[in-house]
Amino acid sequence: MSYPNSERKLAFITGAAGGIGFATAEHLAKDGYDLFLVDFNAELLEKAKQALGKYGVIIDSVVLDLADSENLLAVLTKRLETMEVDALVNNAGIGFARTVEQTTLDEWDRTFDVNIKATFITCKLIVPQMIARGGGAIVNVASAGAMVGLKNRVAYASSKAAVVGLTRCICADHAAQGIRINAMAPGTVDSPWIGKILADSDDPVATRKMMESRQLDGQMGTPAEVANGIAFLLSPEGRFVNGSVFTMDSGYTAV
């Protein structure tokens, strides 16, 4: 599939098969974006493509383990020869329920490979392309936990703090060249990721109540709500927002 010279915009989304990634893909498809979707789960990615097909946009995809940095770099370098990306959403992320003493080196490395190194690689490859074409918009999905910390999520929260730092540095270097890049920092979002955490919990009901209580209104967010925020940051209406951390957490980080 070849995208160059298309009159429509192309959005590149990682972690696109479910949760915030899928909701973002759906929102952007409704807005008329063609889509390039990346996920490690081939079955869910195919289901996502089928569900998005009703919007009549061009959809391409690739199954990738973002922790495999060399393969990610090689595959995307090749794919970008036939793509011109207007909007990049680095949404993919993983985490482990561990304190610093419990976290293994392998868990730490894999978390950072997926959450920050893969984000660095996509930006490294796509930012020059955007600059050459006069600019583009990027949203890196961080976390409210990047600002306040999370219990038992030391690698995850640390990696998301690194996402915020990367985002600000790219803005500082390239805003004058037409790059708009922001970090989206959601609070607790009712998604398949949360479902997995609850399934692994000794007391899913109590864990869910604890997660809900972190938001000041006692409710988790939805993937669609976060997708609305991402779409705004990518849109012309978000022109004056650059290098920011756009927090959507129902007050979680306010107190």
Positions annotated as catalytic residues are: 156
Q: What is the DSSP string of 122-182?
A: HHHHHHHHHHHTT-EEEEEE--THHHH--TTBHHHHHHHHHHHHHHHHHHHHHGGGTEEEE
Name 87's bridge partners: 11, 137
> Exposed, middle or buried, 250 (CB in 10 Å: 0-12/13-18/19+)?
buried
In angstroms, rounded to a whole number, what is the distance separating the alpha carbons of residues 187 and 248?
A: 6
In angstroms, rounded to a whole number, what is the distance separating the alpha carbons of residues 63 and 66?
A: 9
